[in-house]
Structure 1
Amino acid sequence: MSKTDVILVSPPSRTKSPRPPLGLMYLSSYLEREGITADIVDIKGYPDKEIFDKIIESIKKANPIMVGITCLSPEVEEVISISKEIKKKIDCYVVVGGVHPTVSPQDFLGSTSPVDFVVIGEGELTLTELLKTVKNEQDLWNVPGIAWFNDDQIVRTKSRLPINNLDELPFPAFKKVPMNYYTFPNIYAVRGILLSAFFIFTSRGCPFRCKFCSNKSVFGRRVRHRSAKNVVDEIEYLVNNYRIDGFYIYDDTFTINKQHVLNICEELISRKLDLIWGCETRTDLISEEIIKKMKQAGCIQIDFGVESGSQRILDILKKDITVSQIKNAFNICQKFHIRRFANFMINTPGETEEDIQKTINLAKELNATLNIFNVTTPFPGTDLYKEIETKLSPKDYSKMASKISFKEFIEFIESRCKFSQHNINLDVLLTDLWKEFPNVQDLSFRLNKSYVKGIIKELLFVVDMKYLKVINKSKRKKEYLKWLMDIILKKEKQSGNKL
């Protein structure tokens, strides 16, 4: 049986994720351009208990020389588990990469570990060189950005410099993943808005120093931008080949470079693509000039990391923004009728009941279209991780995501990662906040005046003229209707079960 060079694997727990494995897609397209066959295993549509076996089955069929697995902190246990199974069934190298392997390579390497190599940082060049090196039995020390276990110790080569010219990277390998799944109308791309959309990176890197974020560990603090033409070429390709009606800019901070934003907006306008889109940015990087141009180019929503209504907490988190800047950004967006998605944090270091009340007061004043309240979690690679009293194990990491079990997640945070000074139970606090503020995770109806007003505000996008124009010309009208029917039937089934 002939061998595929590389199989790139999305972990089993991502089987229901609406977000595509863009990192793997970039790796695959780059490897293929370099003459290396590289497929992606990203399985959807099977029950959870079958996904693990389906992944192994797919890898066995490909018979690869190397298997690469991406990994976030809550996925460490499952990635190690599937790596063991791969080693049992297939004669190949196992490589892990992504955020957690980059910040904690020691969690994957050892005398009994099934993992052969860890890729540290950006992976396109590193994985390409690593594959060529092992195939040709050359010296591993000549490959920057890797770690492995050698002579009873973990060794690593010098760091890999970030890719400078992002335009040199090929587009992600769209044909290697189930694009029908990712582009089917949903409310998770531009969160809260029913839309057939896809995710786009226009830059890499983040210069800011937020204590709770580890993204800078992979892409670095120096920001590198794609050209406007390159970005919109990709968007236009997605329109022509996958019939998307919108997109979400996945950059950590889209508006960090004013001219970059204006150039992309001008390119979108000049090509008359008539799409709607959203992005994420900081409240101190907003101006009327930028928002006006973004609105003209189809921007319908901006996600902001507000975090707290307490200036003291913002300073502790090293957000380097002020409450007045937050208010100003929301006022500008409201002036230009841009939807506002507000991310808040609870369980922040030193948080008191007074700080919580300031956050609630600010949330009411901002009057965001949607709010979400996140529980501060000290992921490895963040400054917060250094502040917890006892270091965590791979078993602990798996509890750092509420998708496994919300109850277990809250119990873990309360017992091991409690940063706040107040004695309010986090579960009770979140429940109270969700009763007051609508959020995209739970848009159920509640007989609460402020909540009902919030739901109405959230659903006003259905009468937005820009949205209606996009849907009217969409080639996916039947899919939008199917999504709505599925939601109605699901609600009816839930009501029937309650009876």
Structure 2
Amino acid sequence: GMAEKLSEESILKRVVSVNPEILTLATTSSSGQFASDICARIRKALPQAYIICFGQHANYSPQSFLNKSLQIEACVYGEPELTLVELIQQMPRSCAEKEKIKGIYYWDNELKSTAERPLVTDLDQWPLPRYEIFKGRNYRIVSINLPVFRNLIPGWVLATRGCPYQCTICSPAIRRSFGASLRKISPLRVADTFQLLKEQLGVNTIYFGDDAFTLDVHWAEEVCDELIRSKNRINWGMSTRVDRLSSSLIKKMREAGLRSVAMGVESGSPRVLEDINKKITLAQINWAIEEFTKNGISINVTAIVGHVDETPDELKETFSLLKRSKIFFVQLHYLSPYPGTKIAQVFQEKFKYMGDISHYNAAPMNVSKIPDKMLSGLVQKFYLEYYTSWSFVKKYLTQRIRYICSNPLKELRLIKESLAYFLLSKNCKRMKNKERNVFVPRQSISIRWPEFFKAFFLLPFKSGYGKDVATWEKKFAEFTGVPYAISFISERSGTYFTLKALKEMNKWENPEIICPSYTFFSVPWSVKLAGWNLRLADILEDDLNLDPRSLERQITKDTKAVILTHLNGKPAKMAEIERIAKKHNLRILEDCAHTIGIESDGKQVGAWDIGCFSFGDGKNLGTFGGGMITTFDPKLAAALREKVSTFAPQPKIRILRRIADSLILKVLTTGIFYPLFLYPLLRWFGYLSADSRKQDFLYFFNNTKEKNLTFKFSDLQAIVGLNQLEQLEKRNEIRRANSSAFRSRLSKETLANMLPWDGKEPHAMLHDYIMLDCGLEAARESLKRGIDARLDYCGNCRNLPGLEDCPGEDKVGEKVNVKVLFIPNHLGMNPDLSERIAVVLDDLFRGRGYV
């Protein structure tokens, strides 16, 4: 899942599609909550599956998987391999059968455990891993500097198990699984594994996953001798302790192919090192760094910040050690109270609930003497100073050049992530506002970069209206399950001409149409421009969609149709609306701009009668603007096609301008450019006002003439649309994953103000909405923190010019007007960023009393 960046929904779908008889999950403390959630969902979807969990979280929190509401088959504790084999071979179901298997937890009206399984002493008896299943996967090595002058293909080897040290910061689950005594595979097997990885996967870089490769110095020397004897040409890296080294060993490892080493120094303070029982000294740290540097081995150092009772001066000692040493990469980690550690035990009364520790960007609990904000500020300041210093830049250009030349795209990804961190850092010198700590634009353009290049190339040849548009309409009709689909220059254009055609075909004199009281201004705009009378029906407060009961109350003898909007990617209650429409012989028009590809009551939106679609830049399917009308009515389809045949082709300059506008907005809303350019403009020129909808409505109503709506959809747009249609479900899934992550980090108080979504309904989640009484103030305060959370562009229709006396109901529509704030959720985001937004906004909303 992590390698392929799959969301929880995607993982669940894949598991369900495979329908496995047996499912095993490896769990860590940092992924414990996720593992528990996905287990519960898999159990519900596949009740007969035999589910087994093992790893850190299963060792120390088996109750997460074995409780009154969730019972998997077993949690494995200790060394897992033999226990897993026995469970898979026997698949015991009854408690009596499970009781005979060593090393498991199981559920028997309460949590029970069996006898502990002894550790295996001879690791060579294990078969080699099935390395071939990793071929072609998206695994990568980023922060370990291995100089490879070709495309890097990484491999991993675990050569030892067990650690005799008792560091208080380390998870004892590792010692429980691998033991306190060191066990090793033979040096010959290590060399054979290197050869196997090279032959099977084409691996040219290997990293040892051992906690400390050189715990047994004599064995490490034998491994190097074997690699030298086998004429190994694969560069490799490893992790080690600074006190388990010698000058001769370092030289031999260099000769055997060692090019990168990682060391956990944890602190530059002697008191802290003693307190965590690390058993190393500053002299040993400095000696090891000097020896590795002397032998041309790149060094990656990790340290922990926020130790128990750590002071600002002690933290500065750590930073001083890291800055003056000849290190390449530095990684700082907040102290995490992993279950079973001494820290978690000592502070369990003070921190009864330590929260989800899967979020690495902030300390889940701070037990140092440094205030939270000061601690994070010092970390960010160190990173900025270290990675922008000339000494690092010089090391980067000299030591990393071979890797950069051979893996430019991978390196660009690392640079992009690093720049994003610096730009989002509240201590970055470019950003003076201390409250600001994350920068996210309201939307990001859905057009992909290759599609921009393709559009510019095709513009001279595909600006007309031809077979590509016909193919696009056919594919879109098949996708929605409707026989007819007609393209327009915009959804407004399509809706307007559809209403005119219905009026003319049926010879209605003064037809009335019912519209939700709360909707986007283009809906009443199209109705008024087409010469229909408007009547309002109220909305449901839980999803802001049309209330079927209010709809039925508002029907009169002149009512001929109902036009509704599926807001926020959540469809309206279509089955009930269809029942009412059939009863009163009404036509149904669905505004599906937010919900392309979503079902309502078992049927695609837009497939109930007449569907109106928008392909604007911020939607999940964008075509540089444009719209579509779908219908089952052959007469209506014929009338619309006849009308479109009279339209003029779009001038090339018009299409070019539209592409250029989208491109500029695409650039300005990227993670790097947004805080530097677009964000200052938003702050400088003020914020979206509560009256902007009125101004937009008046502008469009007074300045839009029918001739401006009569341009044809172009072949170029159709080609882009066909490409994006293939990606639609994936894009909807991205938004759902973002929304799920965002909601997972909110407090109960804030979550109570969110429009409900249980995380399971397959909505498009075009935006995340929150209801606040002081919506405009909250929007402005959010922008101060870099988050372009704006007032909903929808509003109560009676607040629009000329509609003040519109008949109908708008009690809820007026209640929620100027109170709905939509939170960024677009294709340029990911779940991690969504979580960061949630943390910032939750703190803002609760701190200001908005919730």
Q: Could you tell me whether the CA contact under 8 Å between 2:205 and 2:236 is conserved in 1?
A: yes
Listed as ranges, the matches of 1:23-422 within 5 Å are 44=4, 46=6, 48=7, 50-60=9-19, 63-64=20-21, 66-90=22-46, 91-134=48-91, 139-150=97-108, 152-177=109-134, 179-182=135-138, 186-188=141-143, 195-214=152-171, 215-390=174-349, 396-402=354-360, 406=361, 409-410=362-363, 413=364, 417-422=365-370
Superposed displacement of residue 187, structure 1: 2.1
Superposed displacement of residue 67, structure 1: 1.5
Match of 2:2 among 13, 16, 21: 16
Partners in 2 of 1:462 and 1:422 — Cα distance? 35
Cα distance change on mapping 1:244 and 1:349 into 2, 3 Å: same
Superposed displacement of residue 483, structure 1: 3.6
Superposed displacement of residue 422, structure 1: 2.7
Q: SS of 1:172's equivalent?
A: coil
Question: What amino acid sits opposite 2:58 in the alignment?
Answer: P
2:385 aligned with 1:436, yes or no? yes
Partners in 2 of 1:124 and 1:391 — Cα distance? 37
Q: Could you tell me whether the CA contact under 8 Å between 1:68 and 1:94 is conserved in 2?
A: yes
Superposed displacement of residue 456, structure 1: 2.3
Encode CA deviations 1:386-411: one digit per residue, 9 max, x unaligned. Answer: 12243878x85524432xxx3xx34x
Cα distance change on mapping 1:485 and 1:85 into 2, 3 Å: closer
Partners in 2 of 1:486 and 1:425 — Cα distance? 29
Q: Could you tell me whether the CA contact under 8 Å between 1:248 and 1:278 is conserved in 2?
A: yes
Partners in 2 of 1:148 and 1:83 — Cα distance? 15
Question: What amino acid sits opposite 2:210 in the alignment?
Answer: D
Cα distance change on mapping 1:418 and 1:486 into 2, 3 Å: closer
Superposed displacement of residue 114, structure 1: 3.3
Which of these two proteins has the greater Rg computed from alpha carbons?
2
Q: SS of 1:343's equivalent?
A: strand
Superposed displacement of residue 337, structure 1: 1.7
Partners in 1 of 2:42 and 2:25 — Cα distance? 11
Q: Could you tell me whether the CA contact under 8 Å between 1:187 and 1:195 is conserved in 2?
A: no
Question: What amino acid sits opposite 1:350 in the alignment?
Answer: D
Q: Could you tell me whether the CA contact under 8 Å between 2:29 and 2:357 is conserved in 1?
A: no
Partners in 1 of 2:145 and 2:103 — Cα distance? 34
Q: Which runs of 4+ in 1 moved over 4 A?
A: 135-138, 188-194, 484-499
Number of aligned pairs? 419
Specify every segment of 5 or more residues in structure 2 that has no aligned partner in the other structure, as ranges. 420-666, 678-851
Question: What amino acid sits opposite 1:420 in the alignment?
Answer: S
Cα distance change on mapping 1:276 and 1:192 into 2, 3 Å: closer
Q: Could you tell me whether the CA contact under 8 Å between 1:80 and 1:115 is conserved in 2?
A: no
Partners in 1 of 2:413 and 2:401 — Cα distance? 21
Encode CA deviations 1:21-51: one digit per residue, 9 max, x unaligned. Answer: xxxxxxxxxxxxxxxxxxxxxxx265x3642
Q: Could you tell me whether the CA contact under 8 Å between 2:36 and 2:65 is conserved in 1?
A: yes
Cα distance change on mapping 1:286 and 1:485 into 2, 3 Å: closer
Q: Could you tell me whether the CA contact under 8 Å between 1:291 and 1:336 is conserved in 2?
A: yes
Partners in 2 of 1:75 and 1:52 — Cα distance? 14
Listed as ranges, the matches of 1:464-475 within 5 Å are none
Farther-moved stretch of structure 1 (289-298 vs 427-436): 427-436
Question: What amino acid sits opposite 1:425 in the alignment?
Answer: M
TM-score by length of 1: 0.77
Cα distance change on mapping 1:167 and 1:210 into 2, 3 Å: same
Partners in 1 of 2:243 and 2:412 — Cα distance? 41
Partners in 2 of 1:192 and 1:388 — Cα distance? 44
Superposed displacement of residue 296, structure 1: 0.3
Q: SS of 1:181's equivalent?
A: coil
Q: Could you tell me whether the CA contact under 8 Å between 1:83 and 1:114 is conserved in 2?
A: no
Q: Could you tell me whether the CA contact under 8 Å between 1:202 and 1:226 is conserved in 2?
A: yes
Encode CA deviations 1:196-248: one digit per residue, 9 max, x unaligned. Answer: 21111011111111111112132111110000111121111110111111111
Q: SS of 2:330's equivalent?
A: strand
Partners in 2 of 1:130 and 1:266 — Cα distance? 40
Cα distance change on mapping 1:495 and 1:146 into 2, 3 Å: closer
Superposed displacement of residue 463, structure 1: 5.5
Superposed displacement of residue 165, structure 1: 0.9
Partners in 2 of 1:435 and 1:488 — Cα distance? 13
Cross-structure match for 1:460: 398
Q: Could you tell me whether the CA contact under 8 Å between 2:240 and 2:262 is conserved in 1?
A: yes
Encode CA deviations 1:327-384: one digit per residue, 9 max, x unaligned. Answer: 1111111221211111111100111122112112211232311211111111112222
Partners in 1 of 2:181 and 2:65 — Cα distance? 28
Cα distance change on mapping 1:494 and 1:452 into 2, 3 Å: farther
Partners in 2 of 1:112 and 1:486 — Cα distance? 42
TM-score by length of 2: 0.46
Question: What amino acid sits opposite 1:146 in the alignment?
Answer: I
Question: What amino acid sits opposite 1:458 in the alignment?
Answer: Y
Q: Could you tell me whether the CA contact under 8 Å between 1:56 and 1:85 is conserved in 2?
A: no
Q: SS of 1:106's equivalent?
A: helix
Partners in 1 of 2:100 and 2:181 — Cα distance? 25
Specify every segment of 5 or more residues in structure 1 that has no aligned partner in the other structure, as ranges. 1-14, 18-43, 439-445, 472-476
Partners in 1 of 2:248 and 2:105 — Cα distance? 46
Question: What amino acid sits opposite 1:162 in the alignment?
Answer: L
Encode CA deviations 1:280-314: one digit per residue, 9 max, x unaligned. Answer: 01111111010000000111111111111111000
Cα distance change on mapping 1:149 and 1:391 into 2, 3 Å: farther
Q: Could you tell me whether the CA contact under 8 Å between 1:75 and 1:397 is conserved in 2?
A: no
